[in-house]
Amino acid sequence: MKTQYYTSASLDGFIADSHNSLDWLFQFGEAGDSYPNFISEVGAIAMGATTYEWILNNQIDEGADRPQAWPYEQPAWVFTSRIMAAIEGADIRFVKGDVLPVHQEMVAAAGNKNIWLVGGGDLVGQFYDRGLLDEVIVSIASVTLGSGAPLLPRRIATPPLRLLSAKVYGEAFAQLRYQVPIRADETTA
């Protein structure tokens, strides 16, 4: 069982542009996508409020281009300090504060499967801060955005991430898979 940050980013390290748009990503469609294999191994999901709102506005609500059902069968934990709209029939748990007790709940729910941290970057950073992030799997798209939501706003430099694999998907994506090193302060904790 691993806790994985699986996402796509621009070459300059943003997961959404400054208007929280993913149009730059969706222009590529889903050709050669690793997602079906990835999601089949996921048992629990976590995301931040902005990401949840993006799904609501762009995929679920009546105003979306092609409204659809909540896309995940796995239980999902949404981090927010606000009261947010739930989705009928979806297993969504709204939580706030320290990620450690939430991670413990997620581990219990996931069984032998992995935990997917959908994003955004700072929420994943909070899991990293607690020594709970095992892998970063990022598909780098062949675009630059100049500004936006950062991929992972933490300094992880010494020891560095360990590159486990690099795959090419078409002419747009390089998917890099990294193992996150054990934090120096974890070894003495």
Ligand X SMILES: NC(=O)c1ccc[n+]([C@@H]2O[C@H](COP(=O)([O-])OP(=O)(O)OC[C@H]3O[C@@H](n4cnc5c(N)ncnc54)[C@H](OP(=O)(O)O)[C@@H]3O)[C@@H](O)[C@H]2O)c1
Residue 82 vs 155, nearer CB to ligand X: 82
- Note the residues at the interface with ligand X (CB under 6 A): 7-8, 15-16, 20, 22, 25, 47-51, 54, 79-82, 96-97, 118-123, 126, 149
Structure tokens at 162: 């360990």
Nearer to ligand X, 16 or 110 (CB): 16
Q: How far is the CB of 138 from ligand X (least distance, A)?
A: 9
Q: How far is the CB of 171 from ligand X (least distance, A)?
A: 19
Give the CA diameter of the chain: 52
Using Cβ positions, the residue closest to ligand X within the complex turns out to be 48
Closest by alpha carbon to 46, among 123, 125, 109, 113?
123
Cα separation, 58 vs 125, whole angstroms: 25
Q: What's the Cα-to-Cα distance from 85 to each of 14, 65, 89, 183, rounded to whole Å?
A: 27, 20, 13, 37
Min separation Cβ 167 and ligand X, Å:
16
Nearer to ligand X, 111 or 140 (CB): 140
